[in-house]
Amino acid sequence: MSYWQVVDHRRMLFDQTRNAAYARAIRQCVTDESVVLDLGAGLGLHGLIAAEAGARMVYLVEPEAVVSAAVEAARASGLADRVTVLRGRIEDVILPEKVDLIISALTGNLLFSEDLLPALYYARDRFLKDGGRLIPDVAQLWLAPWESQALHAEHVAQWQRPVMGFDFSFAAHCAANSIIWPSAEELAGARSLSPGACAVELDLTASSTVDCAAGADALVEGDGVCHGLLAWLRLRVGEGWLSAHPLDSRIHWSPAMLPLDPPLPLREGQRVKIELHRPFAGDWTWSARVDDAARRHSTFLSQPHTASDLERMAPDGVVQLGPQGTRAWEIMGLMRANWSNRHIAHEIAARHGMTQERALLEVRTLAMRYGKTF
């Protein structure tokens, strides 16, 4: 997920269900003494709501330039004197004081996806006063077996058919191990075979869990064929809950379908043992077991891996720099020597026989990603 463009924030900014729940929770706990951190502020909506609710000071921490939209909005609403923007990752900025409330939206669609929870834990442990609060403060991931022949046909089975006479069944195996992000229309035609179960719950006020180890027993409520496991997020926001379940009011967090292939026939009254695992920043693995039938999939198998890929990824792998890596290493060396971007590009172009434009593009990309100005 990228957040550097203003339009990357469109679905979040205009998510009225979510905004109303956050606003209710913020107004319930903010007083004119409150100091608030809007962590990963984006365009700063939640921080602005806190400032409008009377907070003494609101710190917006956001690494991307999009946070300028919050500065302008604060100025236009007469809130600028109570809103301070700190541009950077929370791990790299210093807040001048501890806060009473941390507002965030750092849970991914599959709770752990995007790997932003460590930033929340860090902010909580470093900057939250004793007795301070979090919005949201509890996060859950739910799993349930679902039937959807159409989804399976579109996203999995059709890969098994030859295309123009060519056999792509190798790719079919990859598709069966890929997470599906179904549209609302696709889900409208699907059927839940069980209400499902909460497979993992994080108390965000105390947790430091970054690996997903989720498990649930789902009771089947009607005969059917399970084409996949539906996974959805629930968040406690103040006294209410936000849910990404397809039958709840739509929010920008999306449910995911974890396909089972071949589909798993289920009978009413059976208990399906579901598991979902992912080490921090790693691959998702899911399984469903009922009586003596089982299915297991992993996003590790969603892409072909050559032996060289595996060696490069291995903890004990020893890698050499390729041509682009060599240039990046040289560019960063010249940055450390305080050369201007133009001079670095000139030097790199001469050393590697490339155009100035191409070299400047590589310099800029590295400067934006890893650089800072004085």
Ligand X SMILES: C[S@@+](CC[C@H](N)C(=O)[O-])C[C@H]1O[C@@H](n2cnc3c(N)ncnc32)[C@H](O)[C@@H]1O
Residues that bind ligand X (CB under 6 A): 3, 9, 12-13, 39-42, 45-46, 61-64, 89-91, 105-106, 116, 119
In the complex with ligand X, which residue's Cβ is closer, 51 or 190? 51
Instruction: Closer to ligand X by CB, 8 or 186: give it.
Output: 8
How far is Cα 184 from Cα 248, in angstroms, rounded to an integer?
A: 11
In the bound state with ligand X, the residue whose beta carbon lies nearer, of 106 and 190, is 106
Torsion of CA 49, 53, 54, 59, to 10 degrees: -20
Shortest CB 111 distance to ligand X, Å: 13
Q: What Cα–Cα distance (Å) separates residue 195 from each residue in 229, 270, 295?
A: 12, 13, 20
Q: To the nearest whole angstrom, how small is the minimum distance from the Cβ of residue 67 to ligand X?
A: 8
Q: At its nearest, how many Å lie between ligand X and the CB of residue 142?
A: 20
Nearest to ligand X of 42, 145 (CB atom):
42
Minimum CB distance to ligand X, residue 26 (Å): 12
Report the half-sphere exposure of 350 (CA within 13 A, side-chain side): 5
Q: Which one, of 330, 338, 333, 336, lies nearest residue 359 by Cα?
A: 330
Cβ-based nearer residue to ligand X, 103 or 331: 103
The minimum distance between CB 370 and ligand X, in angstroms, equals: 15
Separation between Cα atoms, residue 204 and residue 219, nearest integer Å: 28
Q: Which of 8, 13, 89 is CA-nearest to residue 47?
A: 13
Which residue sits closest to ligand X, CB atoms considered? 40
Q: How far is CA 64 from CA 39, 61, 87, in A?
A: 12, 9, 7
Q: Nearer Cβ to ligand X, position 91 or 223?
A: 91
Write phi, then psi, for 207 (nearest 5 degrees): -70, 150
Distance from C-alpha of 6 to C-alpha of 70, rounded to nearest angstrom: 11
- In the complex, minimum distance from the CB of residue 116 to ligand X, in angstroms, rounded to a whole number: 5
Provide CB contacts within 8 A for 44, sequence distance 6+: 38, 60, 62, 67, 69, 70, 71, 73, 74, 83, 85
As measured in angstroms, the least distance from the Cβ of 182 to ligand X is 21
Question: Which CB atom, from 85 or from 348, has the smaller least distance to ligand X?
Answer: 85
Whether 136 contacts 18, CB under 8 Å: no
Rounded alpha-carbon distances, angstroms, from residue 115 to 93, 119, 248:
19, 9, 25
- Minimal distance, residue 122 CB to ligand X, in Å: 8
Q: Are 180 and 309 in contact (CB under 8 A)?
A: no
Q: How many CA atoms lie within 13 A of 61 on its CB side?
A: 24
CB of 92 to ligand X, least distance (A): 8
CB closer to ligand X out of 114 and 347? 114
DSSP 111: B
Cβ-based nearer residue to ligand X, 63 or 259: 63
- Distance, in Å, from the CA atom of 347 to the CA atom of 38, rounded to the nearest integer, reads 42
